[in-house]
Structure 1
């Protein structure tokens, strides 16, 4: 492959980006080192990275977005994503085995798949890989915390009324959020959701339908047989094959690319970040093949560097930079303030009630309880595509937890490792389980899945606001370095799914950065 061609493809237009996807599919015998200059570099294409890139592009800032995974184009009756109980190489990030809890242990060749398991000491993190980040896998829950919970768990310094008036609505409009309509909720496929609502209401809990970033007409078309089932069987954990989900790749990132100023570079894995002697930023990148082989090594020089690789990715890059003195004078608090958003998954088997087979999804109904001394909590249904009615469904609890987890750099493996103790959220977990048992009834068998496999899909913190960055994500003492994702949120997002809060804060920060820093800092 011609090196000049490779360089041109990643510096060109959206059409060139498509060519780049084709070109990298052929392994090279050795890895070359090339150097590029960009005005702004964004690491990661999830909510934080994509929203930041869109605003930079609209402001006329030439920006490159680095994404380690591939594009996952989908649409009606596509087979883009694997099924939950039939995982293949697409399911996991460069792993010979599936990494999700409960997945059948079917071996495959390593591939730049959808889900990475970041091993920690006391807890693991499950995070997304691909253009669109974890929005490819998330159910679509788009929940806004209230003012009290936001101040308690996210920030007491940010004007919540401003977020409520301007930024949360922006996100809702872009993601086209909508609750499950009556006709779908009344269908037999959604019996488990209706039963959950009825039982929770009888116990006196506040129930609700979850705002979802999906077009419910796609679920209707599944029920008429026009589309193969995905939503209506709850088979969405690896992504929705039929389309209709307004994930980041088809919303914010598409808007960013449409400005003509933003180029998305898939299969670009960032290994380190560094501050050069002149104050500019150096991003060390491996351009890889889908089997993980390094095809080319790059040094990207930029005036501004935006970290949007998620709590795990962003924090690990900062910790490596600190541990190897690649970025002098990083705040001492880098690696602190981490939490799991109170996540807990439970299996519920009720012998006297049938939830049905292929329970409809995504996680579209829930209940709240803010009264427990252990902290505010929320419980939502988590439908699983069981091929037969075995009386079992699943529910997901989450709540407010302190950000007591900490990352530590380990020079032996040149990486940061997360340290977490289950005592940090034990009281909340017990409170969640107590509520679930009340709703499920005394005859139900309730099993805490995460007591066996401790993990979270909702990592938060590692570069918290106040001690590592300001409220716009500017890293303290580091001109031109920004944290734009969930790493800046200390532990939880007010007893709800974190995507809405991460997105609203990214919108808020992007306005501030474009207004004050563009043309001055970069």
Structure 2
């Protein structure tokens, strides 16, 4: 490492951007014990800070050169305009909360191949299912409670379902990332205090409250009812040690000699009117780009000269996810009696799904969704005066007309929109309709005079857009409304909040910039975790799919980091079992079997060179699974059952990844020993503490034919730096088959002073004792975590299953002698 490299700040993982890709990655990696720095160009926006007055809205746009550091970043290209977000939480600050999964049969791209087949995505719905589950659990999605008072008084939601029924279309209440109830399972209600999730809130504010149906989702929720990423993933990431840095805008990236990357960035000082900005540099072993479709693609294009050999697919497969905005003016309910109030409710409550011919509807075309829109109650302030605002509106529209016919459009509209809103000039009336679906991803993002430019047209997706418009006109007819296109449609322009593509995933470098896990071809440790990686339209709102792909990417990243760590561990000739009194090598475990490379002192260049080599250099097959247990411990108690019920008991949990590096050896040896990596969480231990070294024994001998032990021994240090050992046993003893579940799901634990091996247990000082259990839901999740690596994986998994079942039969089966 050169003197210059030593002077540059170094981190394990750097995440760029805090939207649905970046926040998920930051949380997963921080939870696993990695040192994580996340850089977000925008500001934090705690509840209560979102702009509401005309003057505040006038400065709510992102244009640092004009001294604007707001959250709305507006782009204009030849074929479309886009609104994206700048702020801690990314697009979740301004999106409409809809969390739909990508339809199973829609994982394809047009145009068709020469043989008439659609080109498949390099990833399937099955690949994403467990990650969809994980994201939904974290975001606590729930449908709009339309059929419960007072939520039933939402005219636009009823109107959408009535119109769909009239037209024979399928309408649902999609999952929304909004808190309608104070906690999962509780009854919904307006403005109720929301129960804290357990990891605190990074804003450090008072109580969040449930939705009050004000229609302000798209301009920031001042009540905190919206489950934006700052309230969950980012708060949890910070809780686990992630360093979240706002007002940090990344400008360039380049590979570092010996492995890893260097990243140049600006730190914006919003109070510095002279805007004296100096480029700074940070180094990292792994780099996750999640700056959004435009941000990530622009960064890669500007850094292309530093990335020799990057795929020619860079900039391709751009689209707007088929977005189309229209309006139903003077809309009424189905009986033509009550005018709709689009401001009541969250922005979106309902979704009408138009079938795809791939769903088994020949001639239907490409699938799409139509959703109701909304606007805030206070929007009337925009039309109180037309004197000054009208002049600004006229100036703005004239500027756009001139721009449309120029050869060098200004692709950033933020400054001009700021002038337009000023004291308030525009208003939206009646019911907006939001369409989206499978448009054609044939657009190109490129640099033009140093700026991002998009070459994209609605022409190749004309059938899709006309189908949406025709259906929306039919909805207008049912509701007695006047149909109106958005003002840009006369030039066949669309407004999209869902730009996708630019750095698409593919099966090979010829097809994409990154692989199906988001890792850039030819650049180990460089990942893309946002909409730029989409190889085509998602169809429904893409936020959930982006988050699920990032979760899947994080799992793979952690698995590879674990493999690197094991390789490094082997190079340093680490022992599998502790020797009496020996200190373990320092390291950081993870729930996914991952440790921090830097903790082992590994050279990043050596790690990079050995990536992926373990499987090819060995014929061993490894097996791993993740286990989570929860219960109670009493510090001061010495017996587990006493500690579980003690007066001063406290909660304790752990999450471990158990790994048998060689399944054949694991099954053959009498103690059946595997590695255990992860974390332990108990207040008396200093909160969540990483496992430094750990061992697990499956069905170890207990001195009797009808008794087995599942043993756990985990080395860690408490919050005061004192070495501790968690020693635990599951007592698998002969009895009726009804005992299988309680015996195999109950762990009796003791926390010991020091790092103690099994032979030293008798003389060890017991710090505390208690009992942990596997919850049924956690066990079901555990069954989905089994993974194998190496040749003969499926066969090894079968042999493991037979061994497990056979041991249970030995203990619990009938005595046939």
Q: Which category describes the TM-score, using the shorter chain as reference length?
A: 0.7 to 0.9
For 1:162-203, what per-residue CA distance to the aligned partner results, in whole angstroms no more than 9, with x for missing partners?
A: 422x11111110000001113557657511221111111111
For 1:22-45, what per-residue CA distance to the aligned partner results, in whole angstroms no more than 9, with x for missing partners?
A: xxxxxxxxxxxx831112111101
Q: Does 1:306 align with 2:263?
A: no
CA distance in 1, matches of 2:475, 2:150: 20
Q: Does 1:83 align with 2:52?
A: yes
Q: Where in structure 2 are the equivalents of 1:313-352 lying within 5 Å?
A: 313-322=295-304, 325-350=305-330
Cα offset, 1:136, TM superposition? 0.9
Cα offset, 1:490, TM superposition? 2.0
Cα offset, 1:314, TM superposition? 0.5
Contact kept in structure 1, 2:109 and 2:536, CA below 8 Å: no
Cα offset, 1:365, TM superposition? 0.7
Could you tell me which residue of structure 2 aligns to residue 193 of structure 1?
Answer: 157
Q: Does 1:379 align with 2:379?
A: no
CA change 1:515–1:87 in 2 (3 A) is: same
CA distance in 1, matches of 2:102, 2:229: 21
CA distance in 2, matches of 1:356, 1:274: 52
Secondary structure, counterpart of 2:251 in structure 1: strand
CA change 1:337–1:517 in 2 (3 A) is: farther
For 1:40-65, what per-residue CA distance to the aligned partner results, in whole angstroms no more than 9, with x for missing partners?
A: 11110111111111121122221111
CA distance in 1, matches of 2:354, 2:150: 25
Cα offset, 1:139, TM superposition? 1.4
Cα offset, 1:427, TM superposition? 1.7
Could you tell me which residue of structure 2 aligns to residue 434 of structure 1?
Answer: 470
Q: Does 1:457 align with 2:439?
A: no
Could you tell me which residue of structure 2 aligns to residue 362 of structure 1?
Answer: 347
Pick aligned residue for 2:145 from 163, 181, 198: 181
Contact kept in structure 2, 1:84 and 1:385, CA below 8 Å: no
Secondary structure, counterpart of 1:425 in structure 2: helix
Q: Does 1:399 align with 2:437?
A: yes
**Which runs of no fewer than 5 residues in structure 2 stay unpaired?**
1-6, 111-118, 183-187, 194-206, 357-362, 381-426, 507-511, 565-606, 612-817
CA distance in 2, matches of 1:370, 1:417: 33
Contact kept in structure 2, 1:344 and 1:429, CA below 8 Å: yes
Q: Where in structure 2 are the equivalents of 1:102-121 lying within 5 Å?
A: 110-121=67-78
CA distance in 2, matches of 1:465, 1:501: 14
Q: Does 1:56 align with 2:21?
A: no
For 1:213-239, what per-residue CA distance to the aligned partner results, in whole angstroms no more than 9, with x for missing partners?
A: 111148842599x99997523122211
Cα offset, 1:402, TM superposition? 2.0
Contact kept in structure 2, 1:64 and 1:264, CA below 8 Å: yes
Could you tell me which residue of structure 1 aligns to residue 90 of structure 2?
Answer: 133
CA change 1:204–1:87 in 2 (3 A) is: farther
CA distance in 2, matches of 1:84, 1:487: 34
Q: State the TM-score, normalized to the length of structure 1.
A: 0.82
Contact kept in structure 1, 2:107 and 2:123, CA below 8 Å: no
CA change 1:51–1:291 in 2 (3 A) is: same
Could you tell me which residue of structure 2 aligns to residue 444 of structure 1?
Answer: 481
For 1:325-358, what per-residue CA distance to the aligned partner results, in whole angstroms no more than 9, with x for missing partners?
A: 1221111110001110000111101466410363
Pick aligned residue for 1:514 from 542, 558, 562: 558
CA change 1:393–1:203 in 2 (3 A) is: same
**Larger deviation, residues 332-341 vs 367-376:** 367-376
Secondary structure, counterpart of 2:279 in structure 1: strand
CA distance in 1, matches of 2:75, 2:58: 18
Cα offset, 1:118, TM superposition? 2.6
Q: State the TM-score, normalized to the length of structure 2.
A: 0.54
Could you tell me which residue of structure 1 aligns to residue 228 of structure 2?
Answer: 247
Quick one: higher RCO (CA 8 Å, sep 6+), 1 or 2?
1
CA change 1:290–1:196 in 2 (3 A) is: same
Larger relative strand fraction? 2
Pick aligned residue for 2:62 from 67, 88, 93: 93
**Which runs of no fewer than 5 residues in structure 1 stay unpaired?**
1-33, 97-108
CA change 1:42–1:156 in 2 (3 A) is: same
CA change 1:89–1:300 in 2 (3 A) is: farther
Q: State how many pairs are aligned.
A: 465
Could you tell me which residue of structure 1 aligns to residue 408 of structure 2?
Answer: none
Could you tell me which residue of structure 2 aligns to residue 100 of structure 1?
Answer: none
Secondary structure, counterpart of 1:446 in structure 2: strand
Cα offset, 1:91, TM superposition? 1.9
Could you tell me which residue of structure 1 aligns to residue 18 of structure 2?
Answer: 45
Pick aligned residue for 1:475 from 520, 526, 547: 520
Q: Does 1:417 align with 2:453?
A: yes
Could you say which structure has the larger radius of gyration?
2
Contact kept in structure 1, 2:353 and 2:370, CA below 8 Å: yes
Contact kept in structure 2, 1:184 and 1:190, CA below 8 Å: no
**Larger deviation, residues 40-49 vs 115-124:** 115-124
